[in-house]
Structure formats: structure tokens, C-alpha cells
């Protein structure tokens, strides 16, 4: 797992337990689950470096390279989003002091427009969270 090999492949080995057994171990044994998570995180680094090996391999057809690299990048982005994900983090603050209702409404509209320009659907996020506006 720490060398980028997924559980599905690991579990194919005759001397290894099946996938459902490992899944149960992760759920029932917190230490095992933490160790597996650390190993998976290390495996994402392995896969990231493996993308370079694939890119440099002259014997691999360029179309296959693209599929191989894209698959690894997508997986490591999900498995280790903190390091490899494409998460957009927006941190914007606005301070208003003793504003009228009209000034507050205008400031909120500007905030919505600013976030929309960055591709953030704040209205949709608020609606999904059950916030009425």
C-alpha cells in the first residue's frame, strides 16, 4: 500500500486476506486503520513519482501514458486531497461597521459577485446548507 499498490491488487496474492477482511480490520481496529491511512498517504507519493517514470518511458505508447498518468493523478488527488487535491480554498473577509440595510445588501451582493467570478456558487452552497436568504 505504501508503494502505491492498491488493496485490490494486494488481495490477489494467495497469502493475503481478501478485500472484505481488510475492510473489516480497518473498521474494527483503529490502529490498523490509522496505519493503513499512513501507508496509503505514502503510496500517493510513490504514485506521484511513478507518473514521472511513466512520462519518461519511451517504450509506452503516448496514449497509454496519458491514461496511466491521469488515473494516478485522479486517485492521488482523492486519496491525499490535502497534498494533491485541486481544492479551491477561499478566505475573504469583509468588515462593516454601523451599516444601513442598503449598505449591507450592497456588500453582500458584491461578495456574491466576487465569489461567482472565482467559480464559487455561494447561493447554491447556502441553499444546500438549508440557509434561507
What's the pLDDT tens digit per position in 66-112?
Answer: 999 999 999 899 888 888 887 666 677 767 577 788 888 888 888 88
CB atoms within 10 A of CB 1: 19
9-55: per-residue pLDDT in tens? 999 999 999 999 999 999 999 999 999 999 999 999 999 999 999 99
1-10: per-residue pLDDT in tens? 999 998 989 9
For the four alpha carbons of 57, 61, 62 and 66, in that order, the dihedral sign comes to: negative
pTM of the model: 0.56
> Contact, 25 vs 18, CB < 8 A?
no
> Contact, 80 vs 42, CB < 8 A?
no
> Contact, 47 vs 75, CB < 8 A?
yes
Amino acid at each position: 500500500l505504501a508503494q502505491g499498490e492498491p488493496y485490490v491488487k494486494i488481495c490477489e496474492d494467495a497469502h493475503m486476506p481478501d478485500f472484505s477482511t481488510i475492510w473489516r480490520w480497518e473498521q474494527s481496529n483503529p490502529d490498523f486503520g490509522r496505519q493503513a491511512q499512513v501507508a496509503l498517504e505514502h503510496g500517493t507519493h510513490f504514485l506521484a513519482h511513478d507518473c514521472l517514470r511513466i512520462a519518461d518511458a519511451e517504450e509506452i505508447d503516448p496514449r497509454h501514458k496519458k491514461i496511466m498518468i491521469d488515473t494516478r493523478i485522479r486517485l492521488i488527488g482523492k486519496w491525499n486531497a490535502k497534498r494533491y487535491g485541486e481544492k479551491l480554498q477561499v478566505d475573504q473577509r469583509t468588515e462593516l461597521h454601523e451599516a444601513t440595510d442598503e449598505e449591507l445588501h450592497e456588500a453582500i451582493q458584491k461578495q456574491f459577485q466576487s465569489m461567482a467570478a472565482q467559480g464559487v456558487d455561494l447561493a447554491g452552497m447556502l441553499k444546500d446548507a438549508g440557509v434561507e436568504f
